Amino acid sequence: MESQRKPLILLADDNRINRLLVISTLKDEPYRIVEVTNGREAVAAALHEVPDLILMDLMMPVVSGVDATRELKSRQETARVPILMLTALNATEDRVRAFDAGATGFLTKPFDRLELTATIRSYINLSLMNQRYTLTAENHVTGLPNRVGFRDRRAHFTKPWLYLVKVDGLSTISQLYGETEYGVPTSAGELPTGGG
């Protein structure tokens, strides 16, 4: 039986003690944790192996957490990864900057361990559910391309010539207009007109 992989958390904080606090808080949880000490390393690590959640300090050397978040949200590979900001800064302006950069959530240090654990669990579940429904390019029932598959296929053509459309109430149309040999009226003359 194939074992499921443990969800990956990328922990970006320049303060070693803060990283140790998070790691000790999560020691009994089923997560793999990769540690980095600045925003540049966070971007590189996330692009190397896309995490399920990023815990990002707002203020870090080299590249700040806000700038790293903005960069990660601009990349297709990491745009959907939730980013939870952990910081000692509590001003409204700091929160607004983080959210404007693409942060998904915000916890202020010192954090409550139970709240941190519950918040991380919630974001991990959201991330895994998001992956389950967006990474497939086909509808699991019909086998037809979904939005992701359609967008991927459309990207290869500069002038697509065929679009698949969803038609609600197809049976109603069939009942109103009848069917021909191929299931649709063959000419405009076969369509009913006017009042009913």
Tens digits of per-residue pLDDT, 107-144? 888 889 999 999 999 999 888 887 766 656 666 667 66
The confidence band for 171, taking pLDDT boundaries of 50, 70 and 90, is low
Answer yes or no: is pLDDT of 170 > 60.
Answer: no
Question: Which H helix or E strand runs over 87?
Answer: strand 83-87
3-class SS of residue 114: helix
Domain boundaries, the chain: 8-134, 147-190
- The pLDDT assigned to 184 comes to 45
CA–CA distance, 192 with 88 (Å, rounded to integer):
69
From residue 5, alpha-carbon distances to 8, 53, 74, 123, 172 in Å are 9, 14, 26, 17, 47
Domain 8-134: give its CATH superfamily. Answer: Response regulator (3.40.50.2300)
Q: Span 64-81, mean pLDDT?
A: 93
**Planar angle of CA 190, 194, 196, nearest 5 degrees:** 90
Mean pLDDT of all residues belonging to the chain: 79
- The pLDDT assigned to 160 comes to 52
Tens digits of per-residue pLDDT, 141-153? 676 666 666 666 6
In b/e form, how buried is each residue of 113-131, taking b as 16+ CB within 10 angstroms? Answer: eeebbebbbebbeebeeee
Q: Span 61-69, mean pLDDT?
A: 95
- The pLDDT assigned to 68 comes to 97
Q: Span 52-70, mean pLDDT?
A: 94
Percent of the chain residues past pLDDT 90, beyond the cut: 49
The end-to-end CA distance of the chain, in Å, is 61
**Of the spans 32-36, 110-114, 162-166, 188-192, which averages the highest pLDDT?**
32-36
